[in-house]
Amino acid sequence: MIDQIRGLTHQFETDLATIRDLDGYTAVRNKWLARETGLITTSMKRLREMSKEDRPAFGQAMNELRLRAEDSLGRMLDGLKLAAREQEIARKPVDVTRPGFPYPLGWEHPIRRLQAEIEQIFVSMGFRILDCPEVETDYYNFEALNMPRQHPARDAQDTFYFDEAELKLLRTHCSPVQIHAMETMKPPIRAASTGRVYRRDPFDATHSPMFFQVDVLAVDEGITMGDLKGTLEVFLKRIFHPDTRMRLRPGYFPFVEPGAEVDISCIFCFGKGCRICKQTGWIEILGAGMIHPKVLRMSGVDDSRYSGFAWGMGIDRVAILKYGVEDIRLFFENDLRFLRQF
């Protein structure tokens, strides 16, 4: 039995040494490792003719030979492929001076472009850009912003909650930055945050369950509505047009007092009246106001000494007006034909 295995091993080594190309490799592999006719397979069939004492040693030796053959043939195949590749390269030399294949470049997304522009405006005005989490708690998203329990925005129909206890949710606005900033920073505070927010809105031409917002906060001694108005005028003129006019109308928001709705002169008809502004000459753009004293106190700020203003705005809405896009869904379809326009 030992002589037989030695003979098979010597024969395999001899056949392996004769391989010169892929055809020779295929012939040797089929000769030794073919499933039905390979020498190793046919030799294993002799086990039934052996005594019980000889079978284990013979079976083990044949399995070792099979593993040796598979390993040797595998390394031989790798070497043949490498040699064939080198011959191909030698036969067809590469022209290193030839230009490569052009790769198509993407385009900066209009929302990201506008987001960066907004952040740069506030950085130039001395504001710090904060990055706040998109997954918030009920406290930071509602409670600390003076939103009562019965406020409609806290309903499950309007907010994406993660659990039955309603303690974790996808933020519905960027306003939690106000609380995070006042809890971690000491006045004077100048902070802004941009990012995605989520609401249970239908996905149509004017609504999306995910969109972008910017929220701005300033806290210091002696801040008044005049500071809010001046900051807004500078920002809106830089983001739209130097001749853009602005007006404030009384408005209600739980986290500011007093609150204001902010309008700008129509950027399409310049205040003359058109279809976009519904012949009024004005377009509502954002909500703002002085931070509610209760919000200051809940964030650990002395409301008897400090005051502040805050406002929030939808970046998607600004992009629609600034770039003349009539359907918000175009921003999320990743159509290069649309993106190339920017």
> What CATH number should be reported for the domain holding residue 285?
3.30.930.10
Please give the distance of CA 211 from its chain centroid, rounded to a whole number.
14
**Secondary structure class of 68 (helix, strand, coil):** helix
Does residue 136 belong to any structural domain of this protein?
yes
Does residue 98 belong to any structural domain of this protein?
no
Q: Domain check: are 159 and 221 in the same one?
A: yes
Query: Which pLDDT tens digit goes with each residue over 281-311?
Result: 999 999 999 999 999 999 999 999 999 999 9
Q: Domain check: are 255 and 139 in the same one?
A: yes
Q: How many CB atoms lie within 10 A of CB 108?
A: 11
Q: Domain check: are 283 and 217 in the same one?
A: yes
- Average pLDDT for 226-243: 94
CA 64 to CA 9: how far, in whole Å? 10
User: Can you list the pairs that 56-64 forms with residues at least 24 positions away whose Cβ atoms lie under 8 Å?
Assistant: 57/1, 58/1, 58/5, 61/5, 62/5
CA 104 to CA 13: how far, in whole Å? 53
Does residue 105 belong to any structural domain of this protein?
no
Most confident of the ranges 22-36, 87-101, 224-238: 224-238
pLDDT at 112: 92
Does residue 327 belong to any structural domain of this protein?
yes
Does residue 257 belong to any structural domain of this protein?
yes
- Average pLDDT for 87-109: 80
pLDDT at 11: 84
For the chain, the C-alpha Rg in angstroms (whole number) is 37
Q: Domain check: are 196 and 291 in the same one?
A: yes
Percent over 70 (pLDDT), the chain: 97
CA 337 to CA 253: how far, in whole Å? 40
Q: Which of 36-45, 67-76, 191-200 has the lowest mean pLDDT?
A: 36-45
Among the listed residues 59, 329, 338, 326, the one whose alpha carbon sits nearest the alpha carbon of residue 209: 329
Q: Domain check: are 181 and 231 in the same one?
A: yes
Does residue 101 belong to any structural domain of this protein?
no
CA 172 to CA 145: how far, in whole Å? 12
Q: Domain check: are 32 and 80 in the same one?
A: yes
Q: Domain check: are 72 and 115 in the same one?
A: no
Q: Domain check: are 126 and 83 in the same one?
A: no
First to last CA, the chain: 80
Interhelix angle for 315-323 vs 110-124, to 10°? 110
Quote the number of domains for the chain: 2
- 151 in Cβ contact with 157 (< 8 Å): no
Domain end point (choices 44, 63, 91):
91
Among the listed residues 271, 285, 275, 269, the one whose alpha carbon sits nearest the alpha carbon of residue 326: 275
DSSP string, 169-220: EE-SSSTHHHHHHHHHSPSSEEEEEEEEEE-----SSS--SEEEEEEEEEEE
Domain end point (choices 91, 126, 151):
91
Cis before 254 (ω within 30): no
Query: Which pLDDT tens digit goes with each residue over 124-145?
Result: 999 999 988 899 988 899 889 9
Domain with 59 in it: 2-91
Helix (H) or strand (E) holding 129: strand 128-129
Does residue 234 belong to any structural domain of this protein?
yes
Q: Domain check: are 59 and 139 in the same one?
A: no
Does residue 104 belong to any structural domain of this protein?
no
Q: Domain check: are 176 and 309 in the same one?
A: yes
Q: Domain check: are 306 and 195 in the same one?
A: yes
Q: Domain check: are 160 and 221 in the same one?
A: yes
CA angle 107, 112, 114 (to 5 degrees): 110
Domain end point (choices 91, 126, 144):
91
